[in-house]
Amino acid sequence: MAEVHEGSCHCGAVTYAVETSLDGLIECNCSYCYRKGFVLAFAPKAAFTLKSGEDQLGEYRFNRHNIAHMFCKTCGVQPFGFGTGPDGSETAAVNVRTLTDIEPWSWTAERVDGRNF
């Protein structure tokens, strides 16, 4: 069930809200996600709202450059990224570890083999 969740980077410069479900979370073993330890939830980009910190965001792209990985230039935390889904729709990928309104470890995530896609 999709609900509105709040999140932030570590220093608090970047804050956001997203309407998403915490069912179907994934952890990915690709070269980037694995290093970062992401647990990801996905939402249509229209369901994502940046509340503060637009000028604090840096962007990192690699491989096919399809995904804009957004990080805070002050604390380095990456709360979310933007890309396109398999059907071409604009999608936000939220780092569940940066949600501030849920208990740590209250989620479960499925491991996906992004390394061998």
Distance CA 42, CA 48 (A): 10
How near is the Cβ of 58 to Zn ion at its closest, in Å?
Answer: 10
Q: Does 11 bind Zn ion (CB under 5 A)?
A: yes
Q: How many CB atoms lie within 10 A of CB 44?
A: 15
How near is the Cβ of 37 to Zn ion at its closest, in Å?
Answer: 17
How near is the Cβ of 76 to Zn ion at its closest, in Å?
Answer: 7
Site string for Zn ion, 32-71 (x = CB under 5 A): ----------------------------------------
Q: Does 15 bind Zn ion (CB under 5 A)?
A: no
Distance CA 13, CA 53 (A): 5
- CB within 8 A of 102, min separation 6: which ones? 5, 22, 96
By CB under 5 A, name the one of 22, 40, 57, 72 that touches Zn ion: 72
Distance CA 102, CA 85 (A): 26
Q: Does 92 bind Zn ion (CB under 5 A)?
A: no
Reported residue count of the chain is 117
**Where does this chain bind Zn ion (CB under 5 A)?**
9, 11, 13, 72, 74-75
